[in-house]
Amino acid sequence: MEAMDELLSSGEVARRLGISAERVRQFAQAGRLPYVQTPLGRLYRSADVERFLAERMRRKGAEDG
DSSP letter string, 17-45: HTS-HHHHHHHHHTTSS--EEETTEEEEE
CA-based nearest residue to 2, from 36, 39, 40? 36
Classify the phi-psi angles of 14: left when phi > 0, otherwise alpha if psi is within -120 to 50, otherwise beta: alpha
Q: Residue 2's pLDDT band (boundaries 50, 70, 90)?
A: low
* Residue 26, pLDDT above cutoff 60: yes
Taking only the tens place, the pLDDT of each residue in 34-48 is 999 999 899 999 999
Taking only the tens place, the pLDDT of each residue in 8-18 is 999 999 999 99
Give the residue extent of every domain in the chain.
7-64
Residue 17 contacts residue 24 (beta carbons within 8 Å): yes
CATH of 7-64, one of 3.10.20.90, 1.10.1660.10, 1.20.120.1200, 1.10.1060.10: 1.10.1660.10
